[in-house]
Amino acid sequence: MSEKQPPIWLRIYTFIAYLYIYVPIIILIVFSFNTMKLNIRWEGFTLSWYGILFRDQDIIEATGIP
């Protein structure tokens, strides 16, 4: 049984839609490792923001982790 492929315009539109959804998420993930507090430009790699996040008692309580 042969399956019919969707038209090329639909495949291109779908690809652009996925880019529109996922590129900002990827940019946020990349810039979460930036040393600069304001993410205007890339300064360097750090994990310190995640340390601050995991030490924040309000965040820990909000997740329900004892």
How many helices (H) and strands (E) in the chain?
A: 3, 0
Q: Under a CB-based contact definition with an 8 Å cutoff, are residues 31 and 39 in contact?
A: yes
pLDDT at 45 over 80: yes
- pLDDT score recorded for residue 2: 64
Cα–Cα distance, 65 to 36 (Å, whole number): 29
Give 21's pLDDT tier (boundaries 50, 70, 90).
very high
Q: Report the pLDDT value the prediction gives residue 32, as an integer from 0 to 100.
A: 87
Instruction: Supply the pTM of this predicted model.
Output: 0.66
Confidence of residue 15 (pLDDT cuts 50, 70, 90): very high
